């Protein structure tokens, strides 16, 4: 499991928590994403933004559709990145 933090800046150069977690994963020698959960400041699960979806798809172009996105941790509700991004341009 890899953790990331969202860094928001006024000039749009911030980085989402999902991408920070992926950077951490890559730094530790791994290259496959299995499951992602992002939470907002209230602790609620939220889907990754478009930039994060595209980043994951570019890292795993053959398998990105199978990446699981946790939408509700308590209820174990999961969708796939393919559900969120069915016709990505890659």
Residue 17: per-residue pLDDT: 94
- Residues, the chain, total? 90
* DSSP line for 27-87: HTT-----EE-EE-TTS-EEPPPHHHHHHHHHHSTTTGGG-EEEEETTTTEEEEHHHHSTT
Average pLDDT for residues 64-83, to the nearest whole number?
93
Does residue 90 carry a pLDDT above 70?
Answer: no
- pLDDT tens-place string over residues 48-64: 999 999 999 999 999 99
**Interaxial angle between packed helices 17-27 and 50-59, expressed in degrees from 0 to 180 and rounded to the nearest 10:** 20
Q: pLDDT category, 73, cuts 50, 70, 90?
A: confident
pTM, full prediction: 0.87
Mean per-residue pLDDT of the chain: 92
């Amino acid at each position: 499991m890899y953790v990331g933090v969202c860094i928001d800046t006024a000039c749009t150069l911030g980085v989402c928590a999902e991408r920070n977690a992926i950077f951490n994963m890559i730094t530790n020698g791994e290259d496959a994403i299995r499951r992602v959960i992002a939470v907002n400041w209230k602790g609620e699960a939220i889907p990754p933004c478009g930039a994060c979806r595209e980043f994951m798809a570019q890292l795993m172009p053959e398998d990105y559709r199978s990446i699981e996105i946790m939408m509700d941790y308590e209820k174990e509700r999961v969708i796939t990145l393919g559900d969120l991004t069915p016709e990505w341009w890659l």
